[in-house]
Amino acid sequence: AQSVAQPEDQVNVAEGNPLTVKCTYSVSGNPYLFWYVQYPNRGLQFLLKYITGDNLVKGSYGFEAEFNKSQTSFHLKKPSALVSDSALYFCAVRDTSGGSYIPTFGRGTSLIVHP
């Protein structure tokens, strides 16, 4: 079975400061990992993904995420937060070892960037 955990319901950060949104996962085989963002009254938008290769993945809007196999984590980061980054962020995992190819999502983390 595949699962993903986002341990923080909410993350608060001041504009200009670095931000981290945490995600840990559990899969039987190797994971595909994703981050999505949801702005108010909108659907989910894809931010970035880890498939294989370099552990540091760069995505849209200046976001990046680091895959850490030993810690089974895929934390989302940005060096300098913007107020416009305030949104709901979802981590998702897909197990590549077979079974369901549909991703499992975390509960989401609300990011609030203060001016």
Partner 1 sequence: EAQVTQNPRYLITVTGKKLTVTCSQNMNHEYMSWYRQDPGLGLRQIYYSMNVEVTDKGDVPEGYKVSRKEKRNFPLILESPSPNQTSLYFCASSTPDRGRNTEAFFGQGTRLTVV
Q: Quick one: which of 12, 45, 68, 71 contacts partner 1 (CB under 8 A)?
A: 45
Nearest to 50 by CA among 26, 75, 71, 79: 75
67 scored as a contact of partner 1 (CB under 8 A):
no
The residue among 43 and 115 lying less far from partner 1, judged by its C-beta, is: 43
Q: 77-115: buried (b, 16+ CB within 10 Å) or exposed (e) per residue?
A: ebeebeeebbbbbbbbbbbbeeeeeebbebebbebebee
31 scored as a contact of partner 1 (CB under 8 A):
no
49 scored as a contact of partner 1 (CB under 8 A):
yes
Binding site for partner 1 (CB under 8 A): 6, 9, 32, 34, 36, 42-46, 49, 51, 90, 92, 94, 96, 100-108
